[in-house]
Amino acid sequence: MGMVGFTVALMVIGVIISPCVHGNEFSDHKEIEVERLLKRLNKHALISIKSEDGDIIDCVPIHNQPAFDHPLLRNHTIQMRPSFIPESTSTYTKKKIKATQAWHKNGRCPKNTVPIRRIKKEDILRSKSIESFGRKTNPSIPEDNTYDPSRGHEYAVMNSMQGTYFGTKCTVNMWKPEVQVPDEFSLAQTWLVSGVGTTRNTIEAGLQVFPRIYGDNNLRLFVYWTADGYQSTGCYNNACPGFVQRSNRLTVGVAFTTVSQYDGDQYELSILIWKSPDGDIIDCVWIYDQPAFDHPLFKNHTIQRRPRSNSIRDKTGGNKTYIIHQLWRTKGECPENTIPIRRTTRDDLIRSGSIKNYGRKSPPPTIYHTEGAQTEEVHEHTCVYVDYGQFHGSKSRISIWKPNVLRTREFSLAQTWVVNGDWDTGLNTLESGWQILHALYGDKNPRLFAYWTGDTYRETGCYNLDCPGFVQVSRHISLGAALNTFSTYNGEQYDFLLTIEKDQETGLWWLKFETYLIGYWPSFIVPKLAASARKIAWGGEIVYYTSGRGTHTLTQMGSGHFAEKGFRKAAYFNSLEYIDTSNYPITPSPQNLEATVTRPECYNLQVGSSQRWGTYFFYGGPGRNPHCP
């Protein structure tokens, strides 16, 4: 969930406002600190609107809102609309009675501003301390019909647990319950929760009456978030940087004028929180304008639409009842003679640290020279391989998972390597699979990727289409785009067939995803692969950084569970085949595979064979654990 990880839309809004307060007045020596906090929270307004309930609503320029005080939101581009809005399957018809906020009677905020409830000195003085202002001071979450009565929280809730959820929608009946004393509250809300203890992340939204925060007993819309179990992150509304508002009509922390009456008119409010698929923009680029043609050796190159040599028919490894697509395909497709390219954003470039390094791995990232390497960047692998041969390609089915990746620069992947050359004189590789790499993509979705290098990752090569090299021909698949599904522990399992195969007539190395020919690498960018590959490898890899830590990372590989857990619980590769110089696929026996497992106490693998799966292996692990401190 990243700063609680969701790209959030809350009905027509998105904000975080108002404070969480409770307690006694500050002493006089706190006056300066109070004034400093007010100056930080209350941004310059183009206009201000006085509400009949005593609130002042400041219309703040949208890029000056408090969210942008957060260091991770510097240079952030506001998303004015989500890439999609979930369709409801409910048959419930909401009453057409418009819920209005009190400040609407006295004005509206202009375009490109957002309405924010002004924080007053009295709001802060009602809190226990400046540090606790805007935060929950005695947090609690309903769990499994149990709660801690000593915390004074009581619930009447329904929940859905132990699943993979991307949002919540509900319609809340609007009431104004009596709250006896200022420190008490009454609310109706929805929670989105992940993690436990101090790793708990929540997004919360609903209606509340809370005199300690707002100074009255009005019914108000609120939001809350935390990324560490309510310890030091998160707040109500916009009492801290976090949630980004885009609406100029509704705001959080503000009272409604419409509330239900006993045995009278009933009012409702719909709340929808959901995770946008990935936020990518896919450009449909004319096929001859793709980045590959910036390479000087591609001048006058004629694109090959299909391999010329007859390849052996793909083996599917069983009848599939599902189709793997990418999230962008839910919104459309590219026309003939164009290819889909994920648009590189300013944020992507800024995350890379330098323009020169954008889209490139930093040495030593391969299956070589990892054990015992004393370096800040640590690569760990669980892979199997065939070596010292002459190979024309690789085939395998790779299960898709969404492992937890702890830090922005760390990654977790599952891929195949096609390799020739050596580390010192110039390693040439072609690589493809799925990966989670926040530093490159800005999220933690599993994404299809490709990579190549012609000089041991020094000056040549890149991910996907981030430099000239790979020539794409498919209009259906976009390298670097998120996959539409992934496996779940003890649930549905999803995998895809990945093929890298050399065309004997042209020398082009083709990449194939399921039945889609994505494109090819010409041999002249990887000259040591012009004749054949020496090594084919399959497996998982993670990267973490040792700087500032004395323990192993919690970044997971595969499903995050060890290989011995088996099907539905551990990640796998099956239907392993290498392609010989006659372009014939051969299944290696488990006995003929060599293995590299850098730290089996952190991540491991188990190899096997069966009639249905051919040669296969399970792999992965949780990272840090009692045996991997």
pLDDT digits (tens, 9 = 90+) for 484-504: 899 999 999 999 999 999 999
Residue 2 pLDDT more than 60?
no
Query: Does the residue 147 lie in any domain?
Result: no
Q: Which of 277-291, 355-369, 504-518 has the lowest mean pLDDT?
A: 355-369
DSSP string, 427-457: -EEEEEEEEEEHHHHSS---EEEEEEESSTT
Query: Does the residue 2 lie in any domain?
Result: no
Instruction: Provide CB contacts within 8 A for 474, sequence distance 6+.
Output: 339, 516, 517, 518, 519
% residues pLDDT > 70 (the chain): 86
Residue 400 pLDDT more than 70?
yes
Residue 373 pLDDT more than 60?
no
Residue type, 468: P
Domain limits for position 544: 282-300+323-620
Across-strand partners of 90? none
Query: Does the residue 611 lie in any domain?
Result: yes
For residue 606, name the pLDDT band (cuts at 50, 70, 90).
Answer: very high
Query: Does the residue 136 lie in any domain?
Result: no
Query: Residue 124 in contact with residue 21, Cβ under 8 Å?
Result: yes
Backbone angles phi, psi at 460, to 5 degrees: -110, 160
Beta-carbon count within 10 A of 167 CB: 16
pLDDT at 591: 96
Residue 372 pLDDT more than 50?
no
CA distance 139 to 146: 14
Across-strand partners of 584? none
Bridging pattern class, strands 614-620 and 571-579: antiparallel
Residues 410, 514, 541, 577: which is the catalytic one? 541
Token output for 206? 């609903």
Residue 311 pLDDT more than 70?
no
Query: Does the residue 64 lie in any domain?
Result: yes
- 8-state DSSP, 59: E
Higher pLDDT, 431 or 8: 431
Both 211 and 358 in one domain: the answer is no
Residue 25 pLDDT more than 80?
no
Residue type, 455: D
pLDDT tens for each residue of 165-190: 778 889 999 999 999 988 899 999 99
pLDDT at 74: 76
For residue 371, name the pLDDT band (cuts at 50, 70, 90).
Answer: very low
Bridging pattern class, strands 447-453 and 462-463: antiparallel
CA distance 54 to 217: 12
CA distance 397 to 316: 8
Both 263 and 327 in one domain: the answer is no
Total domains in the chain come to: 2
For residue 320, name the pLDDT band (cuts at 50, 70, 90).
Answer: low
- When pLDDT is averaged across residues 313-322 and rounded to a whole number, the result is 49
Residues 204, 380, 431, 501: which is the catalytic one? 431
Both 230 and 332 in one domain: the answer is no
Residue 341 pLDDT more than 90?
yes
Both 615 and 535 in one domain: the answer is yes
Q: Which of 102-116, 399-413, 543-557 has the lowest mean pLDDT?
A: 543-557
Residue 18 pLDDT more than 50?
no
Both 611 and 573 in one domain: the answer is yes
CA distance 86 to 6: 15
Query: Residue 537 in contact with residue 383, Cβ under 8 Å?
Result: yes
CA distance 437 to 355: 17
For residue 289, name the pLDDT band (cuts at 50, 70, 90).
Answer: very high
Both 341 and 460 in one domain: the answer is yes
pLDDT at 29: 67
Higher pLDDT, 174 or 161: 174
Both 208 and 286 in one domain: the answer is no
pLDDT tens for each residue of 527-558: 999 999 999 999 999 999 887 778 999 999 99
| Mean pLDDT, the chain, integer | 86
- When pLDDT is averaged across residues 320-326 and rounded to a whole number, the result is 70
Both 488 and 593 in one domain: the answer is yes
Residue 227 pLDDT more than 60?
yes
For residue 128, name the pLDDT band (cuts at 50, 70, 90).
Answer: confident
Q: Which of 76-90, 250-264, 325-339, 443-457 has the lowest mean pLDDT?
A: 76-90
pLDDT at 24: 43
Higher pLDDT, 143 or 245: 245
CA distance 186 to 57: 24
E strand or H helix at 350, and its extent? helix 346-351
Q: Which of 89-93, 124-128, 445-449, 465-469 has the lowest mean pLDDT?
A: 89-93
Q: Which of 129-138, 237-246, 247-256, 603-612 has the lowest mean pLDDT?
A: 129-138
Across-strand partners of 605? 619
SS3 for 447-509 is EEEEEEECCCCCCCCEECCCCCCCEECCCCCCCCCEECCCCCCCCCCCEEEEEEEECCCCCCE
Both 240 and 368 in one domain: the answer is no
**Sheet strand arrangement including 535-545:** 462-463, 447-453, 428-437, 411-420, 535-545, 377-386, 594-597
- When pLDDT is averaged across residues 338-366 and rounded to a whole number, the result is 85
pLDDT at 342: 96
Q: Which of 225-239, 249-263, 297-311, 535-549 has the lowest mean pLDDT?
A: 297-311
3-state secondary structure of 106: helix
From the list 555, 550, 557, the residue with the least C-alpha distance to 572 is 557
Both 185 and 243 in one domain: the answer is yes
pTM value is 0.64
Query: Residue 83 in contact with residue 254, Cβ under 8 Å?
Result: no
Instruction: Provide CB contacts within 8 A for 136, sequence distance 6+.
Output: 20, 224, 226, 230, 236
Across-strand partners of 283? 341
Task: Give ∠ CA 424-426-427 in degrees, rounded to 5.
Answer: 105
Query: Does the residue 155 lie in any domain?
Result: no
Residue 267 pLDDT more than 80?
yes
Report the residue count for the chain.
Answer: 629
Both 245 and 288 in one domain: the answer is no
Backbone angles phi, psi at 146, to 5 degrees: -125, 150
The structure tokens 């009581």 sit at 154
pLDDT at 31: 84
From the list 144, 195, 480, the residue with the least C-alpha distance to 328 is 480
Residue type, 98: K
Token output for 537? 């490898």
Higher pLDDT, 419 or 356: 419
31, 61, 500 from 562: Cα distances, Å: 56, 50, 28
pLDDT at 332: 82
- When pLDDT is averaged across residues 273-288 and rounded to a whole number, the result is 86
pLDDT at 26: 47
Residue 141 pLDDT more than 90?
no
Higher pLDDT, 218 or 423: 218
Token output for 504? 């004997």
- 8-state DSSP, 25: P
| Maximum Cα interatomic distance, the chain, rounded to a whole number of Å | 86
CA distance 530 to 509: 9
Query: Residue 267 in contact with residue 170, Cβ under 8 Å?
Result: no
Both 256 and 203 in one domain: the answer is yes
Query: Residue 511 in contact with residue 375, Cβ under 8 Å?
Result: no
Query: Does the residue 314 lie in any domain?
Result: no
* Residue 431 is among the residues annotated as catalytic for this protein: yes
Query: Does the residue 157 lie in any domain?
Result: no
pLDDT at 7: 32
Q: Which of 18-22, 126-130, 201-205 has the lowest mean pLDDT?
A: 18-22
Query: Residue 368 in contact with residue 423, Cβ under 8 Å?
Result: yes
Beta-carbon count within 10 A of 270 CB: 13
312, 474, 511 from 306: Cα distances, Å: 14, 10, 11
